[in-house]
Structure 1
Amino acid sequence: MNSLYPRFSFQTQYQDKFSKAKVATLVTPHGAVTTPNFIFCATKAAIKGLTPAQMKEAGTEIILSNTYHLMLQPGGKRVERRGGLHRFMGWDGPMLTDSGGFQIFSLGHGSVANEIKGKRLTHRQKTLLKISEEGAVFKSYLDGALHTLTPESSIEIQRQLGADLIVVLDECTPFHVDKSYTEKSMHLTHRWGLRSLEEFKRTNSGQQAIYGIVQGGVYPDLRKIAAAFVNSHPFFGIAVGGSLGATKEQMAEVVNSVMNEISPQRPVHLLGIGGISDIFNGVREGIDTFDCVHPTRLARHGGALVRPDFWLKNDGSGGEHISLKGSRFKDDDLPIDESCPCSTCKTFSRAYLHHLIKAQELLVYQALTIHNVTFMNRLMRAIRTAIIENRLEEEQKNWMQV
């Protein structure tokens, strides 16, 4: 496998004594990532509200961009002509791109969240037209033009985009489908995975590494089959995708069933998960990286991530974030978090941030994004230190109410 990835490596430095959690180093041509780590979503080749320099200042090591959106605008060839994503957007650190499959299927027949909430897209809203052995035919959400994404074209586009880490094309099934469909989809994903891998080998320059993907929905026996598939082929890393269930408890069961089967010598990425409790659970199961739009999206809705001591100091209990839209903050002169080193907490009060929201000033969305990105990076650093010191359970109490 190493001959496929001459400029990549993954090495465990510390193994937790009480779980599968570990601290490792993932080396790429654009630098190293210490894991466990969080990958922030620069969906359209930009972190919404922040520059690459601000992301670096907040402690970010790795980001991702989205193949589906970038193939439609501005197009893989155009990005390639401008030196790839790193040069195009001014980010010089490690990057990951997904295959584009998730967006095709989630926009095509509704997201997992919509399925859980019982929502359905109308016929006019659906963009996925056909799934076949060849690939997926869909309509662009921008102009309605028809496109076909195959395993080969997904790899070609990701090659043009130039991210360090890329992912095979898979079918991401909706939550409501039965086991029979999930099994057929999983086997289709495996055939697409092999085609993706062959295309990767055919055009491999040593500058990228490919992840296989584990599907199988909420069914442990299917997840076991999918894990055996990725274990038996020379993928550099493994991504855990698809429906993880309707509850956090079911998600924990699915992740556990997968991680019991996966080779620990490869980096494992959990797709689309960013809740604090989910991160701690995933880390204990051996997950190395996570991604989610939650920290940056929350900021655009006036939300700031906080630790449990916020609620202790304010005589109450609550979740993982506060909404600075609330009138309770209009005369609050404290920063979001007095212990946070971010420029927002060093500069602005809760009252000022509340005012900016009410005044609809764009500055607040940048300020809250800086805080939330810093929060996630502080969380991951604290988790890594706790693993090294064998006190992960104790550290969890500093970040969530348990």
Structure 2
Amino acid sequence: MTGRFEFKLLGRDGAARVGKIATPRGDIATPAFMPVGTAGTVKAMLPESVRATGADIVLGNTYHLMLRPGAERVARLGGLHRFMNWERPILTDSGGFQVMSLAGLRKLTEEGVTFKSHIDGARHHLTPERSMEIQRLLGSDIVMCFDECPALPADRGRIEESMRLSMRWAARSRDAFGDRPGHALFGIQQGGLERDLREESAEALKAIGFEGYAIGGLAVGEGQAAMFDVLDHAPGMLPEDRPRYLMGVGKPDDIVGAVKRGVDMMDCVLPSRSGRTGQVFTRRGVVNIKNARHADDPRPLDEACICPACRGYSRAYLHHVFRSKEIIASMLLTWHNLHYFQEIMAGMRGAIVEARFEAWEAEFHATRALGDIERI
């Protein structure tokens, strides 16, 4: 594999940016939404189906893959790209968030985190160096620094202590990552909702130097208004010439609001998880396919959508297979949701290039406010 990791800014409209990330495994158009393939799969989707929705990159999860099937095993089998049959770019998170949110008994020290697996109770030790090693074994194209992310709300002292620990871990991650042409390491800004701590974190990361920068510690319970307050200033603290990644976001209006404020990349389990639970995102808002109102409805979920769920199946059928717990329900509804999220991204990219983002955003919100089509 030859080539370099590069980011080129192609245009802007206000704070919103459009660009391209070039990697040896293919280009990523930004703003980009990354479907989450936690354990080496985007649930209910074939890799070629994920690509057909418009996704340029997927996310893999270090914590889950290190526990099962194990990073060393994945490496022996040719790396994560070959293992999951996805030859385009992959970003792996560091495992830190899942350790804090999923693991059993855990002990946090300057060195790292010792924890018990949520799968079998086995004890593991994760440090910045081990996180870099795991992500190298997986072979991901974009690697995330190992960090600690406290849930909000938290008191300022806890956030400050955590942020500074994460910055020390970021330096160790950079050292352990080494020289890997064609691969990128992203630093993660922390600091909760505190503007001065966000600034301190950004300065620390810039002093270390990374190929990209993430905004972490949001979408952890603070609410949209508080998140947008942070995003009004946090992206501008990060280098202009590097991609900016907002971790774990989000709902369609979260994504639009983040791009409006200068974010280039996002990921979230929401479209795939919601598809499996019957929650469907459409341009006119959220549809709950479980509701009895859809049982006799011959119309598609969204007449303007060209995904397989809308092109070939009625609401009545989707309601039936979901209520019958048929696997095809998860497949079709997940495909639709991922297609819709990628449609939002493509719409924003086009609007930014043509300097009409404000009008696009107004139409996006106005159409969603209409609510679902009238029932039959």
- The answer to whether the aligner puts 1:177 opposite 2:177 as a matched pair is no
Equivalent residue runs for 1:116-135 within 5 Å:
127-135=104-112
Displacement of 1:88: 0.4
Q: Give the letter for the 1:173 counterpart.
A: P
**Is the CA contact 2:275–2:330 (under 8 Å) kept in the aligned structure 1?**
yes
Task: Pick the aligned partner of 2:310 from 322, 341, 345.
Answer: 345
Tell me the equivalent position of 1:321.
286
- The answer to whether the aligner puts 1:42 opposite 2:42 as a matched pair is no
Distance in 2, matches of 1:249 and 1:243, equals 11
Tell me the equivalent position of 2:274.
298
In structure 2, the CA distance between the partners of 1:336 and 1:398, relative to structure 1 (3 Å rule), is: farther
- The answer to whether the aligner puts 1:365 opposite 2:330 as a matched pair is yes
Equivalent residue runs for 1:10-49 within 5 Å:
10-16=7-13, 19-49=14-44
Displacement of 1:107: 2.0
Task: Pick the aligned partner of 1:81 from 68, 76, 82.
Answer: 76
**Is the CA contact 1:264–1:286 (under 8 Å) kept in the aligned structure 2?**
no
Task: Pick the aligned partner of 1:99 from 94, 98, 105.
Answer: 94
**Is the CA contact 1:107–1:128 (under 8 Å) kept in the aligned structure 2?**
no
Q: Give the letter for the 2:272 counterpart.
A: T
Greater mean alpha carbon deviation, residues 376-385 or residues 390-399: 390-399
SS at match of 1:331: coil
Tell me the equivalent position of 2:351.
386
Task: Pick the aligned partner of 2:260 from 276, 279, 284.
Answer: 284
Q: Give the letter for the 2:294 counterpart.
A: F
Which string of whole-angstrom CA distances, capped at 9 and with x for unpartnered residues, describes residues 165-212 of structure 1?
0000001112132111111111110110000000011xx331321000
Structure 1 gaps of 5+ residues are: 109-126, 309-319
Q: Give the letter for the 2:96 counterpart.
A: G
Distance in 1, matches of 2:142 and 2:223, equals 30
**Is the CA contact 1:104–1:128 (under 8 Å) kept in the aligned structure 2?**
no
SS at match of 1:190: helix
Q: Give the letter for the 1:239 counterpart.
A: A
Task: Pick the aligned partner of 1:56 from 51, 54, 60.
Answer: 51
Output the TM-score relative to the length of structure 1: 0.88
Output the TM-score relative to the length of structure 2: 0.94
Distance in 1, matches of 2:148 and 2:222, equals 19
Tell me the equivalent position of 1:153.
130
Structure 2 gaps of 5+ residues are: 370-376
Q: Provide the alpha-carbon RMSD of the alignment.
A: 1.4
Task: Pick the aligned partner of 2:180 from 199, 205, 211.
Answer: 205
Count of aligned positions: 365
Which string of whole-angstrom CA distances, capped at 9 and with x for unpartnered residues, describes residues 260-304 of structure 1?
311111101000002122111111111000000000000000111
**Is the CA contact 1:106–1:172 (under 8 Å) kept in the aligned structure 2?**
no
Q: Give the letter for the 2:6 counterpart.
A: S
Tell me the equivalent position of 1:9.
6
Displacement of 1:6: 6.1
Which string of whole-angstrom CA distances, capped at 9 and with x for unpartnered residues, describes residues 95-114 of structure 1?
10000000001225xxxxxx
SS at match of 1:138: strand
Distance in 1, matches of 2:53 and 2:232, equals 31
Q: Give the letter for the 1:329 counterpart.
A: H
Identity, % of aligned pairs?
A: 41
Distance in 2, matches of 1:263 and 1:361, equals 47
**Is the CA contact 1:21–1:287 (under 8 Å) kept in the aligned structure 2?**
yes
Task: Pick the aligned partner of 2:238 from 262, 275, 278.
Answer: 262
Distance in 2, matches of 1:399 and 1:330, equals 28
Tell me the equivalent position of 2:339.
374
